[in-house]
Amino acid sequence: MNALTRRQQQVLEFIQTRQQREGLTPTLREIADHFGFRSLTAAADHVRALQKKGVLENQPSRARSLRVVSPWQGLRRPVADIPIFGSIPAGIPESRVQDAKGCLSIDVASLGIKPTPRTFALEVRGDSMIGRHILDGDLVILEHGVAPRNGDVVAALIDNESTLKTLVLERGRVWLRSENPRYPQLIPASELVVQGVMMALVRRRKG
């Protein structure tokens, strides 16, 4: 591996710190603003240099998927990149169109899950799930296509509006339970579709 210049080392450390703290790679604009570069080209040049020197890698066609590569890569535990498809209300259901807004890099062993191509993440908005220790700003990791069980936390469409709640199967009825007494239980008027079952939670640090 080629030696890094002082500035390249600083850029690498900035990217790594942001990934560890927020789970997201900083954009070129954020890199340029942090270091006072006059243009995005300067930030892009540093990123390309780090890629050429083998300390950064990315996955084609995925936004914000740069990942720091350790020279001891072979000794590290597996890391998976999970797409973040927008946010989901943990409160009153809302009409939403989910768009990919980044990528979450996680240590697979530490979370105890095995991501698949159907694994995705959503950012929580609201406090209706605090009884399950799911807070506003957290990232929930979900699996699409898994058969939900009674008591699972799910991302669901209820009467065409999305929400994150606990699934309840009771005497042939299916409904959603809030884990905060300030919010009502949700009984579908016509349709309830589970989009994903929660597999893990990543707490976002604030401040």
Q: Which residues are known to be catalytic? A: 128, 165
By DSSP bridging, strand 161-170 and strand 153-158 are: antiparallel
Task: For residue 153, give the nearest of 174, 180, 125, 134 by alpha carbon.
Answer: 134
Name the 3-class secondary structure at 151: coil
| Residue that has been written with the tokens 């591996």 in this structure | 1
Farthest CA pair distance, the chain:
66
- C-alpha 199/C-alpha 122 separation (Å) is 12
DSSP result, 61-126: T-TT--EE--TTGGGSPPEEEEEEEEEEESSS-B-------EEEEEEHHHHT----TTEEEEEEES
